[in-house]
C-alpha cells in the first residue's frame, strides 16, 4: 500500500525543475495528495500540464527513501505538500513554488509574515536596527522570516524569539546539516519557538547556488521584505528582486551614504522601496486582511492580550497609537492615511472597545494591555 507520507517524501527527494513546477500545479489542482494518487496517468498529465506527470504516481521505495525517512524522524521533522493547509499561503502564489517543503519545528501559523534580511557582515548599527524592527514585528504578532545566515538574519531571528514571537529560518541546505556551524544555540531556539523550512532533502550540503533559490522562498512567504543592510551585490538584493517579481512590497532601512554596507539599501530606496525606520513603518503597509489578524500592537506574545479590532480602519489606527506618547488627530491622519471622518469613526470604535482613550488637548493614546 502506498502511504501518502512516503509519496510526498519521495517527491521531495527526486522532483526538480520543470517536473517540480508540474507537480505543484498537479497538487494545487487536485487539492490533496490522496486525490493525486487516485488519478489515472492521463488525468495527471492533463492537470499537471507536463508530459511525464504520470511517473509521479509510481510507488516510492529503495534505500534512499528509508534513509531520508530515518533522518527526518531523528530530527522530529516532516514534509509538507503545497496542497496542505500548513503550507504558507503566499508561497503558493509565486511562479515556481516548491511542491514539497521539509520542515522542522512548530506548526507554521497563518499569521502575517514579513521578511527581514541583510548583510552577513553587518555593522553594529545595522544589527541593532534589525533587532528593533524584528522585535516590534514579533510583538505585533507578525511572523519574521529570514535566511538563518550570520549578521542581520541571525539578529532578526533572535529578536523575534526574545519577544516570544514566531520566526522561520529558510535554509540553503538540508535540515540535518549544521550550517552555519556557529548557530547551534540559535538553531535550538528556532526549533523550540519557530521553524526551519527548506526544499532541499536531508543531507544536502550548503552549495553556493542553493542560496539564490532559497531567497525566492523567503520572499514568497512574506507579504513584505525589508532589507536592513546590503552591499551593491548582496544576496539580500536577490531576495528583494524575488519579492518584486512575486508582486510583494520591498522596504529598506536607510544608511550612511559613505561605504558599501548601505549602498544596496539606499539604491533600493532611490528606486522606490518603502522607507523603513521601525516596525510601525512596516505595519502601516500591511493590507487590511493582515491588520485584523494581528494581536494588539505592543502586547508581548506571551501576554493574553485583547485581539486587534475587526474593523480595518480601527486596526490601522491602533497600530499608530502609543500608550506612552499621545498623538494628535492630524498626526494619526498622516500616519494612517485615513480621512478625518474615517479616523474619527475608528477612534470612537477603539474607545468603545476599551483599546484607546481621548486625553485633554485633543490627544489620543492606546490603553496599555492589562497584565
**Beta strand segments in 55-152, E:** 78-81, 100-105, 113-117, 143-146
More confident call, 292 vs 307: 292
Cβ(10)–Cβ(83) under 8 Å?
Answer: no
pLDDT value of residue 296: 43
Listed range (38-42, 151-155, 272-276) with the worst mean pLDDT: 38-42
Listed range (57-61, 111-115, 224-228, 301-305) with the worst mean pLDDT: 301-305
**Closest Cα partner for 283 from 298, 271, 270?**
298
Question: Would the CA dihedral through 102, 108, 113, 116 be positive or negative?
Answer: negative
Reply yes or no on whether the pLDDT at 303 is more than 60: no
Reply yes or no on whether the pLDDT at 300 is more than 50: no
Q: Which DSSP state fits 149?
A: -
The pLDDT > 90 percentage for the chain reads 57
For β-strands 327-328 and 249-252, DSSP reports them as unpaired
pLDDT value of residue 28: 93
pLDDT value of residue 56: 77
Average pLDDT, the chain: 88
Reply yes or no on whether the pLDDT at 186 is more than 50: yes
pLDDT in tens, 210-223: 999 999 999 999 99
Cα dihedral: 43, 44, 46, 49 (round 10):
180
Phi, psi for 33 (deg, rounded to 5): -65, -40
pLDDT in tens, 46-97: 888 777 777 777 666 677 888 999 999 999 999 999 999 999 999 999 999 9
- Give the residue extent of every domain in the chain: 4-61, 113-283, 305-366
Mean pLDDT, rounded, for 18-39 = 90
Query: For the domain bounded by 305-366, which CATH number is listed?
Result: 1.10.10.10
pLDDT value of residue 19: 86
> Residue 4: pLDDT band by 50, 70, 90 thresholds?
low
Q: In angstroms, what is the C-alpha Rg of the chain?
A: 22
State pTM to two decimals: 0.81
> Residue 307: pLDDT band by 50, 70, 90 thresholds?
low
Cβ(232)–Cβ(263) under 8 Å?
Answer: yes
Cβ(53)–Cβ(47) under 8 Å?
Answer: yes
Reply yes or no on whether the pLDDT at 21 is more than 80: yes
CA distance linking residue 229 with residue 254, whole number of Å:
8
The pLDDT > 70 percentage for the chain reads 93
More confident call, 112 vs 260: 112
Reply yes or no on whether the pLDDT at 2 is more than 70: no
pLDDT value of residue 304: 38
CATH for 113-283, among 3.40.50.10860, 3.40.50.10490, 3.40.50.2300, 3.40.50.450?
3.40.50.450
CA distance linking residue 239 with residue 254, whole number of Å:
17
Mean pLDDT, rounded, for 243-269 = 93
CA distance linking residue 226 with residue 159, whole number of Å:
15
> Residue 311: pLDDT band by 50, 70, 90 thresholds?
confident
pLDDT value of residue 336: 82
Helix (H) or strand (E) holding 120: none
Reply yes or no on whether the pLDDT at 1 is more than 60: no
More confident call, 252 vs 61: 252
> Residue 243: pLDDT band by 50, 70, 90 thresholds?
very high
Amino acid at each position: 500500500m502506498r502511504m501518502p507520507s512516503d509519496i510526498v517524501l519521495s517527491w521531495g527527494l527526486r522532483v526538480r525543475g520543470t517536473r517540480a513546477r508540474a507537480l505543484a500545479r498537479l497538487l494545487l489542482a487536485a487539492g490533496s495528495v490522496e486525490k493525486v494518487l487516485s488519478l489515472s496517468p492521463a488525468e495527471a498529465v492533463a492537470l499537471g500540464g507536463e508530459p511525464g506527470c504520470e511517473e509521479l504516481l509510481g510507488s516510492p521505495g529503495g534505500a534512499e527513501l528509508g534513509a531520508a525517512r530515518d533522518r527526518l524522524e531523528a530530527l522530529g521533522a516532516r514534509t509538507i505538500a503545497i496542497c496542505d493547509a500548513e503550507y504558507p499561503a503566499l508561497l503558493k502564489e509565486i511562479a515556481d513554488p516548491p511542491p514539497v517543503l521539509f520542515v522542522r519545528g512548530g506548526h507554521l501559523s497563518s499569521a502575517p509574515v514579513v521578511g527581514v534580511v541583510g548583510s552577513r557582515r553587518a555593522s553594529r548599527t545595522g544589527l541593532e536596527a534589525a533587532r528593533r524592527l524584528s522585535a516590534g514585528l514579533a510583538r505585533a504578532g507578525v511572523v519574521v522570516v529570514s535566511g538563518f545566515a550570520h549578521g542581520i538574519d541571525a539578529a532578526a531571528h533572535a529578536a523575534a524569539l526574545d519577544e516570544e514571537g514566531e520566526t522561520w529560518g529558510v535554509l540553503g541546505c538540508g535540515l540535518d546539516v549544521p550550517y552555519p556551524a556557529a548557530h547551534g544555540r540559535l538553531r535550538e531556539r528556532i526549533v523550540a519557538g519557530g521553524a526551519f523550512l527548506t526544499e532541499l532533502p536531508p543531507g544536502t550540503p550548503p552549495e553556493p547556488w542553493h542560496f539564490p533559490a532559497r531567497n525566492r522562498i523567503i520572499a514568497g512567504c512574506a507579504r513584505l521584505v525589508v532589507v536592513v543592510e546590503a552591499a551593491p551585490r548582496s544576496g539580500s538584493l536577490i531576495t528583494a528582486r524575488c519579492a518584486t517579481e512575486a508582486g510583494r512590497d520591498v522596504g529598506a532601512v536607510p544608511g550612511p551614504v559613505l561605504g558599501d554596507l548601505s549602498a544596496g539599501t539606499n539604491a533600493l530606496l532611490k528606486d522606490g522601496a518603502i522607507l523603513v525606520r521601525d516596525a510601525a513603518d512596516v505595519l502601516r503597509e500591511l493590507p487590511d486582511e493582515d491588520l485584523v489578524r494581528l494581536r494588539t500592537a505592543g502586547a508581548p506574545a506571551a501576554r493574553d492580550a485583547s485581539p486587534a479590532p475587526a474593523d480595518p480602519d480601527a486596526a490601522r489606527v491602533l497600530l499608530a497609537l502609543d500608550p506612552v506618547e499621545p498623538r494628535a488627530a492630524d498626526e494619526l491622519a498622516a500616519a494612517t492615511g485615513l480621512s478625518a471622518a474615517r479616523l474619527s469613526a475608528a477612534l470612537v470604535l477603539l474607545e468603545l472597545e476599551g483599546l484607546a482613550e481621548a486625553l485633554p488637548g485633543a490627544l489620543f493614546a492606546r490603553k496599555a494591555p492589562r497584565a
